[in-house]
Structure 1
Amino acid sequence: MNRFRTRITATLALTTTTALLLTACGAADSASSSGGTRKVAVLAASSQNGYNQAVYKGVQQAAAASGKKITLKLLDGQFDSNTQLSQLQNVTSTGDYDGVVVVPNDGVGLAAAFPLSKKIPVATVLNPIGPDINKMEPQVDGVVTTVGVPPAAAAQKQAEGVVTYCARINPCKVVLLVGNLSTPLDVARRNAYKKVLGAHSNIEVVSTVEGQYDRDTSLKAISNVLQAHKDINVILSNADQEAAGAQIALQNAGIKPSSVYLTGAGGTKDAVAAVRSGAWKAAYINFPLSMGKAAMEQLIKAMDGGTPKAVVDSDGIGGVEPYATKETLARTPDFTGEWNG
């Protein structure tokens, strides 16, 4: 619920310069713009990021399953808001593309590209595009669908799990491990955490640190926190990569991770396994592969002149309860997660 930024080596043969032609069996779409083939630009927040890679794979699968000729071109936003804004402005001004799927690095800032110079449909994944980070309905003319959930609502649910855990602990010492304390998405999450936790006098937020969606950065940040607060009860993170770093920091400090309420978000395969084992108490699961599929399916509807869903609730497309604990995961023993972080 997430942006999930682990900078890993790309394993899905993603490039910013090579287009992949996906032609499924079936008749060519006579309504498409270039000889029966449609061109779709996929704007990743970062093409080197596992979450974005999973979204792109879902886009590929939906394109291949559509029975249409669709050319995909992946663009790497490099986790830079200005770079991605420029990319969106370029692909929507050339007349070369029929649609766009975007995983916004900054959905608020990306609104500056609208209204588009060429009127083509845009599907956004994880984050809405527009001034209100918690409003999933399209806020600017040109966005036809948003696949996601309000970040404040998701963060609130995470924090409520902490409240339940802390009910009999006084004081219950909490560390907030947030990706980036200046981006609109993470500001919304942090504020939601503090609003829920602040309503309970037994809960004390002893530190708020950045993890930058990175295991090693989070390891260092939590190691520093533990020097001053070795008696913490909870580490609440908005990213599984960060929680993984926190787990190592706890182990290095001689603290058994299962003795702390450790929770992340994103639904990586490692996180699902950690919750199943009891090393983590919970994780908020995202389904980036399914989200990419849904975005492409709705974009195809729009390109065909149909009516796409304005909002696709990403919590409901993965087939499992997104707020996962060991108990909820026991009901779906075959689920392993949709991506590697």
Structure 2
Amino acid sequence: MKPLLRVIAGAGVLALGASLAGCSSAGPAGNADGESYNIVFLAASSQNGYSQAVYEGIETRAAELSAELGITITTKIQDGQFDANTQLSQMQNAGTTGQADGIIVVPNDGPGLAAAFPLGNDVPVATVLNPIGPDIEKMEQQTDGVISTVASPPSIGATGQAEQAVEYCKDIDPCKLGLLAGLLNSPLDVARVDAWHQVLDKHKNITIVGTVEGAYDRDKSLTAVSNLLQGNKDINGILSNADQQTMGAQIALEDAGIDPSTVFLTGGGGTKEAVEAVRAGTWSNGYLNYPVTMGGKALEQIVNQLRGEPVEAVVDADSLGDFGPFITQKDLLEHPDYTGEWNG
């Protein structure tokens, strides 16, 4: 594997997420006294481990580029609180008040966030994890002002998970599966759940016993799956789109007296905990993601745009690792040094 960036302690990120008061209000940078850029990161939630990892990548790459190019790049984070309206307001403010030279965002609602454009000061925006515009599956530019999308179509990961579940279930009839989504009203998660159904519903031996919401949180997922298991102790597997949720599902299974290694269990995100769970055989497989690297790539595109350098309009998130993005125990035994980029 290529070298991985250090994951920042969550407390430091949260402290920065509390306020944007220190961000310059003097307007776009690139001043006569030297090249300097203020970059605002709009987190889906500053308390979410994935957003924290993206911000770590932004901070690390900002420091590297500042040293390499002899410029000054400052970064700030805002908390989107997993709320589409909050983030829409933050985008409008950051893009029109002169506080930002560039914006990086992990959207809570990519289609809805397009309403913020065009931004008043023509500030370039890079988006991570999902696009900004009406089509959640289209990575190419849909909205003027969004100069780069660092992501992959959500249906790709979800389809791969479902196909692996079908393979697991091929000799089980009925094969009872639970679906553990992040936020059931999020366009990103709607697309993932739809992709799961597109594959699973074609197989008569597979029964979906319930779809529950984990909110990208271990404890909430533990509660949701515990409730699901009350009437489904004979469950054969759980599909989850987030590793934090899968960890909660694992605990729920164990609390119910079910060995998680005896059911199909998968996650998404590539956390260090998930990598170890797949390596140990506790989970059937995992879907790797590289949020630290993705944050760094997004920062690169913003700086390139501001400096008049070439910009990658689409950075395929699934291509950022040396193997995967789907991993099994066998894959990880062949890559014993791989640990994952972040803590969930």
* TM-score normalised to structure 2 length: 0.91
- The answer as to whether partners of 1:10 and 1:50 remain within 8 angstroms in 2 is no
Q: Which residue of 2 aligns with 1:199?
A: 202
| SS of corresponding position for 1:14 | helix
| SS of corresponding position for 1:145 | strand
Q: Which residue of 1 aligns with 2:292?
A: 289
Q: Measured at CA, do residues 100 and 248 of structure 1 come closer, stay the same or move farther in structure 2, by a change above 3 Å?
A: same
Q: Which residue of 2 aligns with 1:63?
A: 62
C-alpha deviation, 1:11, in angstroms: 4.1
Which of 92, 106, 110 matches 1:107?
A: 110
C-alpha deviation, 1:131, in angstroms: 0.7
C-alpha deviation, 1:17, in angstroms: 2.9
C-alpha deviation, 1:311, in angstroms: 0.5
Which of 307, 330, 333 matches 1:330?
A: 333
Q: Higher mean Cα deviation, 94-103 or 128-137?
A: 94-103
State percent identity of aligned pairs: 57
Q: Distance in 2 between matches of 1:139 and 1:274?
A: 38
Aligned pairs (5 A) from 1:79-118 = 79-118=82-121
Q: Distance in 1 between matches of 2:77 and 2:172?
A: 49
Unpaired stretches in structure 1, ≥5 consecutive residues: 1-7, 22-30
Q: Which residue of 1 aligns with 2:324?
A: 321
Q: Which residue of 2 aligns with 1:24?
A: none
The size of the alignment, in residue pairs, is 325
Structure 2 residue 276 is the aligned partner of structure 1 residue 278: no
- The answer as to whether partners of 1:124 and 1:295 remain within 8 angstroms in 2 is yes
Q: Distance in 1 between matches of 2:39 and 2:214?
A: 33
Q: Distance in 2 between matches of 1:319 and 1:32?
A: 36
Aligned pairs (5 A) from 1:6-155 = 10-12=11-13, 13-15=15-17, 16-17=19-20, 19=22, 32-33=30-31, 35=33, 36-66=35-65, 67=69, 68-155=71-158
* TM-score normalised to structure 1 length: 0.91
Q: Higher mean Cα deviation, 12-21 or 72-81?
A: 12-21
Q: What is the letter of the counterpart of residue 103 of structure 2?
A: V
C-alpha deviation, 1:242, in angstroms: 1.0
Q: What is the letter of the counterpart of residue 98 of structure 1?
A: D
- The answer as to whether partners of 1:10 and 1:49 remain within 8 angstroms in 2 is no
C-alpha deviation, 1:143, in angstroms: 0.3
Q: Deviations over 1:184-229 (max 9, x none)?
A: 1100000000010111111111111111111111111111111111
Q: Distance in 1 between matches of 2:154 and 2:317?
A: 11
| SS of corresponding position for 2:103 | strand
Q: CA RMSD in A?
A: 1.7
| SS of corresponding position for 1:278 | coil
C-alpha deviation, 1:34, in angstroms: 6.3
Which of 166, 170, 174 matches 2:177?
A: 174
Structure 2 residue 298 is the aligned partner of structure 1 residue 298: no
